[in-house]
Structure 1
């Protein structure tokens, strides 16, 4: 699956709409969900970021991301035209616990998910993993290695997150389009394998 340019929309036969696939991007506060959606989207992503204010003090856990100044308050949205017959819509979920109630609406119709993790704060990804496991939605895990930093290896991350062996895990800098693309390709392969086993 190679990402094409959005001008393929114009080459889609008239009266034929491409098939749409919905993918969620989830994870804890400040793990890079907005960044990933922006890195891979072929259109300027829709962002619902607001500045963090004193009202969030004591409500949002900013440990490990103290320099973060904005936060997603609803969702991020991006689009990828895979080919004239297939378009992928990415929905980035808000990471703070006070916004988790939105996940139930965002997950409607999702084919699969990407869970982002940060090795400095792996516990912030537990809720996302539990959410998708409980709903039996296939997912992959992307470990965001900010600035190439790897505090833990893949085995340590799998053990800490208690991941099933068949759940794909990729480590890399999610700001790079090529890393985000590789993560989405691993999800596509995982979806194919999951569907072929059911």
Structure 2
């Protein structure tokens, strides 16, 4: 590919650099089925320009990918999303969003390596997609919280009913969120950090 002489590759912004006060970094994985809002959550909460690996959806995915509830979606993550958020001046979270299409789930193994915990994003229009996602986390022993993403046209159920439908134990935190809103996404991450802290304290 030829580049014009005026073409430039943007360098990092000042806010993209890791804060000098940071003393601890934690890897968090955001998982869920296709179109549940993983890319949106990483983008809304990241303090740096998020890295995405979205590609335009093609005819090849018809009959293979379940896009119910996401019929207007034109791009999909094929590798991962990446972002970063400082929880405190000392603690930084590195966020990795997984691809939601099942044919890309083989990439999850590498993304889970070194992860301290996970957020499971749930869409009540396609609750059954979450069963395999939660099962994979339980198999790997990765602590997780469940965040029910509030889509405008999605049916709303009592949280106790959703917990029962997902067969979640009482100790696993479950919250509602709007992945488009930074404050809401940050609250989900704080819920996960409190859960991880409680697990650490219980094991001491």
TM-score under structure 1 length normalisation = 0.90
2:133 corresponds to which residue? 128
Aligned residues: 190
171, 178, 181: which one aligns with 2:183: 178
Taking a change above 3 Å as real, the CA distance of residues 163 and 71 of structure 1, as seen in their structure-2 partners, is same
Partners of 1:45 and 1:7 in 2: CA distance: 10
Please give the residue correspondences for 1:6-25 in structure 2 after superposition, counting only pairs within 5 Å: 6=15, 9-12=18-21, 18-25=23-30
* Contact 1:148–1:173 under 8 Å retained in 2: no
1:151 equivalent to 2:142? Answer no
Partners of 1:8 and 1:193 in 2: CA distance: 30
41, 47, 56: which one aligns with 2:52: 47
* Contact 2:145–2:192 under 8 Å retained in 1: yes
2:92 corresponds to which residue? 87
Partners of 1:7 and 1:76 in 2: CA distance: 16
2:3 corresponds to which residue? none
69, 72, 79: which one aligns with 2:74: 69
* Contact 1:148–1:172 under 8 Å retained in 2: no
Which residues of structure 1 form unaligned runs of 5+? Answer: none
How far off its partner does 1:75 sit? 0.2
34, 50, 54: which one aligns with 2:39: 34
1:114 equivalent to 2:119? Answer yes
168, 174, 186: which one aligns with 2:173: 168
Partners of 2:66 and 2:49 in 1: CA distance: 29
Which residues of structure 2 form unaligned runs of 5+? Answer: 1-13
Q: Report Cα offsets for 1:36-70 as digits up to 9, x if no partner.
A: 00111001100000111001111111122111111
Partners of 2:56 and 2:31 in 1: CA distance: 20
